Structure 1
Amino acid sequence: MATRKRVVVKKATKKKTTNYQFTIITSGILLLMVIIVGYKYHTRFLSYLGFIPEKPYSSLSEEERKISNEHIEKVLLNHDDKALGFDVSEYQSVIDWEKTYNINESFEMSFVFIRATAGNNKIDRRFKENWKKAKERNLICGAYHYYRPNENSIEQANNFIKTVQLKKGDLPPVLDIEKLPKTQSIANLKLGLRRWLEVVEKHYKVKPIIYSGESYYNDFLKDEFSDYPFWIANYNFWIKDIKDEWDFWQFTENGEVEGVKGRLDLNVYNGSVLSLQNKCIK
């Protein structure tokens, strides 16, 4: 009787399974990296278009509000030796300036930036009232112009000059640039910004401050406008301290100030109140 040959079935090795698991893990890591990079540049792109990367307080969940409030409190505590302030425009509606003494009922306010103009013809509807009341409140005041890249820079400078009378003790004028141009090159944008700054500096006899988001600052302004002081907006809750190269830091738009309805921008000056006073127009 012929002996039947025994068929030996080999067990699957772990190698194939291990390779499969490695592929899955690698794919997952790559996908995560794509999401992170994509979010980073999506956020940066939005900031160039003038969008604010911080969600309005009213739309935050309870947990998000807790995180936001903890971040604000942490930043304020880290800078209790520096001058603190806020900024407003017509969007804050009527402000009870007699109550605007503290942030979160604890941290004393020293300064305020007030929007004066935008583009070549816009005058903030509440600028005159806000400017007058803030001075009566003895806050150190600064006025800012919202720059529209697709409008004539000289006309925009003249709009600001005819609207704002700065005196001794006021902060230097501020140029707020947030958007990229639609009808001109970046080179022409920078030329327009330079013209605005030069016209305004010649009129007020003081070098203006430039306001922008950190991405915009790093990509377009940092190198060519390094001789100007900067006021930088960055709402990243991982950042707890103002950077050395920033004169002012706008660290949230979800702050709370008594006398102002709703939430608003809060700012830190990179120095004491005395140092801020020395920065003012002489």
Structure 2
Amino acid sequence: MKKYLILVAITILLLTISAIFSYKYRKGILTAKKYLTEKAIYRNQIVSDPLIDKIPKNEEEHIFGLDLSHHQQHINWDKVLENPPHFIIFKTTEGSSHTDTKCEKHIKEAKNKGILVGGYHFFSYQSSGKKQAHHFLKNLKLQKGDIIPVLDVEFSKNMHSDAWIKENIAAFISTIEQEIGIKPIVYCEIAYYNRFLRAKYGNEIHLWLSDFRSKPNKNFVFWQKTDKYKQTGIQGTVDYNLFNGTKEDLTTICY
């Protein structure tokens, strides 16, 4: 009898655990579907200011650049110069404590090769926007002639409420503006802009828009066109970005 009761208890326990995992699995699927549905809604919203297209028609005149991080550990700069990008924006920091291990070295090497550089901060939902902005500026070491700072904001599975996100992105942007006198460029998808930035900022901020399908129907300074670009001197594939203008226009987004 005792063995029978133990067997029944184990069976009930296993069924309970199975039910819990099944619920969490179904909940995860529903959450993912809701996330993708909402993202599609914001992506397809009509924008109030259609693209002002200043990208040269001739591809040979395109002003292109890369965004790199510690993932590109070994760069052969002499090879890079065989087809030199007009600019490179390097990951500098993430959150309120992480610093990219290759940023300082990469920026120094790129500058030595005459390439225009800038730095970006990857926004975290784990600390305040103000703390992140101070951490970014401390490590960026912005110099005259560099591309103005960039804030990288992206959708994530573990995000706060919309109110928290809007408040802390605003805190990041205002802190940067207070310290250097200009708002940062913001890298994001059009869906992210529509959801978290559009109502407050409208056309007040420079946008670096990511869209691997087509040119965004919204004014931008940079368009991240693909993450499958092959650059001589760098192993693997990298992000390819077009500047919306001519080489001379690049000075308008420099510090």
TM-score by length of 2: 0.74
- Per-residue CA distance 1:171-194 (angstroms, 9 max, x = gap): 110000003574631111111001
Q: Are 1:165 and 2:141 matched, yes or no?
A: yes
The answer as to whether partners of 2:56 and 2:246 remain within 8 angstroms in 1 is: no
CA–CA distance in 2 between the matches of 1:166 and 1:111?
15
Match for residue 63 of structure 2?
83
CA–CA distance in 2 between the matches of 1:183 and 1:255?
30
CA–CA distance in 1 between the matches of 2:120 and 2:103?
10
The gaps in structure 1 that reach 5 residues or longer are 1-37, 49-74
CA–CA distance in 2 between the matches of 1:146 and 1:183?
14
After TM superposition, give the deviation of residue 204 of structure 1 in Å: 1.9
What is the CA RMSD across the aligned residues, in angstroms?
2.7
After TM superposition, give the deviation of residue 155 of structure 1 in Å: 1.5
After TM superposition, give the deviation of residue 76 of structure 1 in Å: 9.5
SS of alignment partner, residue 61 of structure 2: coil
Match for residue 276 of structure 1?
250
Match of 1:114 among 84, 90, 93: 90
In the alignment, residue 148 of structure 1 is paired with which amino acid?
Answer: S
Match for residue 57 of structure 1?
none
SS of alignment partner, residue 254 of structure 1: strand
Q: Are 1:223 and 2:199 matched, yes or no?
A: yes
CA–CA distance in 1 between the matches of 2:198 and 2:179?
24
Q: Are 1:248 and 2:225 matched, yes or no?
A: no
The answer as to whether partners of 1:242 and 1:270 remain within 8 angstroms in 2 is: no
Q: 1:205 to 1:79 in 2, by over 3 A?
A: farther
Larger Rg: 1
- Per-residue CA distance 1:250-276 (angstroms, 9 max, x = gap): 000000111111000000010011101
- Per-residue CA distance 1:112-154 (angstroms, 9 max, x = gap): 1100000010000100111101111111111000000231212
Q: Are 1:205 and 2:181 matched, yes or no?
A: yes
Q: Are 1:101 and 2:102 matched, yes or no?
A: no
The answer as to whether partners of 1:231 and 1:247 remain within 8 angstroms in 2 is: yes
The gaps in structure 2 that reach 5 residues or longer are 1-32, 44-54
SS of alignment partner, residue 183 of structure 2: coil
TM-score by length of 1: 0.67
CA–CA distance in 2 between the matches of 1:43 and 1:77?
35
Match for residue 105 of structure 2?
129
Match for residue 16 of structure 2?
none
Residue identity over aligned pairs, in percent, reads 27
In the alignment, residue 261 of structure 1 is paired with which amino acid?
Answer: Q
After TM superposition, give the deviation of residue 78 of structure 1 in Å: 5.4
SS of alignment partner, residue 224 of structure 1: helix
SS of alignment partner, residue 231 of structure 1: strand
